A and B are shown apart, each in its own frame.
Chain A
């Protein structure tokens, strides 16, 4: 794992409160951050910039999402069958 993909402090880090998703069902929070990471990496590499700022989204979705979802979505991206707009 890259240094920037690790959380900032040595204490256990969790994503901060996001007022866009205030309720108990956090599915959209997980999914939105996954999408933002993919879009961020795609845009930054298209502009030839370093994708380090995108790692915030990486930490958030890895913290929030079930691992099986992340694996499933990454496989779909590789197969070209991912349904989200990246």
Chain B
């Protein structure tokens, strides 16, 4: 027997899970050294190690799937399950921050003055930049759907255009949100309002940056002819992740920016 008689992918031994675990250790201990002793070398090494791990691991996945043909239908199904389960875990991650926000804002304590927003907090006007941010992300949801349909119809030009527009909208959101952060009259250390606001919106912003990066790699792969009109799971995974980021923003906008003001 010189070849496998099943459709599954027996992955070759790889060092990246080990380097990933080591970089996680460097990241966690690096955070402690930074927080307590203002020492940044461990953290910087950890960030570099985790970035290199991600690059090389996912480069290998692309090699195995696109170049070596290992991603048969059952393998792709497993990858789909994986992405769905990951996104579900991210939903739980954000659920924690929403829980914290609602715990403190639904029954405000005497420390806040018995009301929400707390005394002394001037919230951002939800009808200004936050509303624009909502429009930007909703529009990006439309453009990525357009990109997907163009891809499935083998329309290279439009699929590239729509994907670029999605990336541009994502970058625009990040730019707008960063300028909003410099406009707030409150910081993360301003009581429970500051903590809940910046933890929830901050992690969301990080996920927008991650999603934009994922979309950008899809753009590069598309230009390198990796995707076919019927097989482009990397793109679909990026699109799912992008829609998730959009939905989290909608919850953030309605809960913290609108109801919470």
Contacts and interface: CB of A to CB of B under 8 A. Distances in A.
A37 B119 CA distance: 19
Nearest to A25: B107
A83 B95 CA distance: 29
Contacts, number: 24
Interface string A49-75: 000000000000000000001000100
Interface residues of A, number: 10
A50 B39 CA distance: 63
B73 interface: no
A27 interface: yes
Contacts of B112: 83
B19 to A, nearest CB: 50
A32 to B, nearest CB: 8
Band of interface residues on B? 10 to 19
Interface string B105-116: 000011111110
A83 B115 CA distance: 9
Interface residues of B: mostly helix, strand, loop or mixed? loop
B109 A84 contact: no
Nearest to B120: A83
B46 interface: no
A85 interface: yes
B113 A85 contact: yes
Nearest to B191: A83
Interface in A4-28: 27-28
Nearest to B107: A28
A32 B109 CA distance: 11
A84 B119 CA distance: 7
Nearest to B113: A83
A83 B194 CA distance: 16
Contacts of A28: 114
Contact of B118 (A31, A32, A69, A83): A83
Contact of B111 (A32, A83, A85): A83
A35 interface: yes
Contacts of B119: 83-85
A68 to B, nearest CB: 12
B112 to A, nearest CB: 6
Given A83-B119, A85-B119, 9 more contacts: A28-B114, A31-B114, A69-B110, A83-B112, A83-B113, A83-B120, A84-B110, A84-B113, A85-B113
Interface of A: 27-28, 31-32, 35, 69, 73, 83-85
A-B pairs, top 10 by smallest CB distance, nearest first, are: A83-B113, A83-B119, A31-B110, A84-B113, A84-B114, A31-B114, A83-B112, A83-B111, A85-B113, A83-B118
7 contacts: A27-B109, A28-B114, A73-B110, A83-B112, A83-B113, A83-B114, A85-B119
